[in-house]
Structure 1
């Protein structure tokens, strides 16, 4: 045997490997070191890489040969050791040299972060009550009103603003006499009474006409998300440019035909469609609620010592994903954190807590899938890829379509499917 390995368990899902490499392997790597060093030497009469050892040592020095041999041997020794002991390592190891000399065994010590051990507990004891899904007639009517608003038209209005009217305004907000850019806008549209603005602000618009100007104060609540105006009295100056009345279409059979693209012939048919859509949505929401409760209880039962490197990597990925989403809205993450009213330290700490839960959930589901012999076939993976592609054919770029066929994406989809299967089984256990 060319290598001896002793393993010692450490906290935080790390292990210490004491690796001993046989003297014959050490001497092989010293020979390789001579060749590598000689490639960088220019000696008259010799080709680089083909210089006698004594001349290489004379020109480069024994220390350089020693360091190069160690540099070459460490990766070999580490990879062989974790392969021999079937260690599931994650991240970079910390390796130190304990002993290295020609014609002698070499000794290395490696501190290695590993996939953490998962102690599940009795996961079949998880219990969640599934709630019945019912659709009330008021919910259907509310959805119908939203569709009606969507089909509304604007009609110029000569009179004063009433609740429910559309208006276009200029406004400037001043704090202690200083204009705040965030509270300044021109030709800003709003529907009075929808409470997009502070209710007190919108109330001050009622009764005004196009061309009117007005000044008034609005007291912002202490809990307002914009910390620099929370609890402050803001003085507004406004000007009304345009007032329009919102005309709603009649809720009749013609409306139903138009809104459904001809799929429904009357209003009752449209109401039934809305009821079915709401039922599907609420069923999905109830499934998500049960799923999250199952996951919460599973994580409470499970014991896992998650290594910091996994948490750090997950936090980086979460930040990267968030920055990507915010960039589509023209926002920077620093501004987003400010909107939340948090410090960067508070935000990062919350991300770390979220990262821990995500990692724990993934490890727990993977372990349960192993215990329950849950797997996903290549055929199931292919069918899911085909389904995803057909559903998003028009939206996907050529690059995205190619990525969908990559091995990395296949592994991701396979993991998603396996987690879905595992959660299906766990929900069956929990709601039985």
Structure 2
């Protein structure tokens, strides 16, 4: 097989692959076998029809077409491996030459245009030291946590004053269009400042006391007149304020397992310190990635970027065609960072020879399923059916590469050694390293079993 590579862009290549007849023949023979299983030829058992008879019966063109469909993706994968090209998107194939008969010496020739991962040279990890901010906990942090806990045990108390932000108002609403009532609600409890109902409601309510009413213009957000402007009359029936319990031993006993406020505060501080350590570990991760990318020019593939940009805008609730320049610029910044991080982590995982086991993939997918309250087996089967298993394997590889890389460098905080082993874990010693192919095969079997069960 002859392979030539033409660089179209820093992250895009065009491979021209010419296949010798002896390399293409196995695919022709396999195609004949598959076709032979599907047709009836007098004098021959199904599946035992000679190749020459198949060529005559269905035509060599049909055989070659089937062989091309099966062979081109496999030959393309071999070419990528030989030339050490790491694709970041699906290729565009163009079959240029195919033998016209079994005796034709024409070689199979096709091109594959694909966006690739750029080649980058990562710095050596040995001797690398990264300093991150200290995991500080302030008295303000403790106070905020205690106030949040107090709010969970707060009571609403009626007040004889105008409503203000944070108060709860019991209100009646009546929306009118052209003087006719189109929607009304009575006895609705609403927190001022929450912004959970109509636009303009917060402004209309602020300053009103029980028994007072006002009218404002708003856009209806549901019902038959959704999206239409209406005159909305709002009446305040009562105003209540949130009353927080006193911070004392009685509160500690009601809100926790502790007998005294001092014990509760100590527990709150401990939780705050643990969260601070978690934030510090995240900062260490970000600093590690930034260190790897320092001074590197990392181009991103245009096609992949465009696809992710549209998805990012959609995730932000923005129509790509109606997005403002600021929205597009912000989304583009996020997408480019995501792609550069992926490129660096994929390169790091390769540099460290990270292995992804079947158990790694299974645990990763099961954890995601758990987060979304889904059955792990059903979720894994869905991943396989949608062709997303490769992406899952890649994500696991990136995660393992990140952890392995961070374990290989030194972290400090304020110049003192920083131990992140609580978050990075220890290097696995007796991990069963099954191949990615094993993970794929296991998931494929699970998918097949699921399909059989559905068929029943």
TM-score range, shorter chain: 0.5 to 0.7
Any stretches of 5+ residues in structure 1 without a counterpart? 219-227, 323-332
Q: Which of these residues, 268, 275, 279, is aligned with residue 269 of structure 2?
A: 275
Any stretches of 5+ residues in structure 2 without a counterpart? 219-226, 416-456
- Determine the structure 2 residue equivalent to 1:113: 114
- Determine the structure 1 residue equivalent to 2:297: 303
Tell me whether 1:167 sits opposite 2:169 in the alignment: yes
- Determine the structure 2 residue equivalent to 1:325: none
- Determine the structure 1 residue equivalent to 2:190: 190
1:253, 1:267 within 8 Å by CA — same for their partners in 2?
yes
- Determine the structure 1 residue equivalent to 2:247: 251
TM-score w.r.t. length of structure 1: 0.65
Matches within 5 A, 1:50-65: none
Q: How many residues align?
A: 392
Tell me whether 1:360 sits opposite 2:340 in the alignment: yes
TM-aligned CA distance change 1:274 to 1:337, over 3 Å? same
TM-aligned CA distance change 1:429 to 1:179, over 3 Å? farther
Distance in 1, Cα, partners of 2:16 & 2:363:
45
| Alpha-carbon RMSD | 5.4
Q: Secondary structure at the match of 1:6?
A: strand
Q: CA deviation at 1:89?
A: 4.6
Distance in 2, Cα, partners of 1:128 & 1:178:
68
- Determine the structure 1 residue equivalent to 2:427: none
TM-aligned CA distance change 1:352 to 1:179, over 3 Å? farther
Tell me whether 1:94 sits opposite 2:77 in the alignment: no
Cα deviation, 1:150-174, whole Å, max 9, x if unaligned, reads 21123456x4445464212234678
Tell me whether 1:399 sits opposite 2:382 in the alignment: no
Q: Secondary structure at the match of 2:411?
A: helix
Q: CA deviation at 1:257?
A: 1.8
TM-score w.r.t. length of structure 2: 0.62
Q: Secondary structure at the match of 2:242?
A: strand
- Determine the structure 2 residue equivalent to 1:214: 214
Q: Secondary structure at the match of 1:361?
A: helix
Distance in 2, Cα, partners of 1:429 & 1:74:
51
Matches within 5 A, 1:5-404: 5-24=3-22, 67=65, 70-71=68-69, 74-75=72-73, 77-79=75-77, 81-82=79-80, 87-89=85-87, 91-98=90-97, 100-101=99-100, 102-113=103-114, 115-120=116-121, 122=123, 130-156=132-158, 159-163=160-164, 165-171=167-173, 187-192=187-192, 201=202, 204-209=205-210, 211-215=211-215, 236-260=232-256, 262=257, 264-296=258-290, 298-299=292-293, 301-308=295-302, 310-311=304-305, 322=315, 336-337=317-318, 343=323, 351=331, 353-371=333-351, 373=352, 375=354, 385=363, 398-399=375-376, 403=380
TM-aligned CA distance change 1:121 to 1:174, over 3 Å? farther
Distance in 2, Cα, partners of 1:70 & 1:48:
23
Q: Which of these residues, 402, 408, 422, is aligned with residue 419 of structure 1?
A: 402
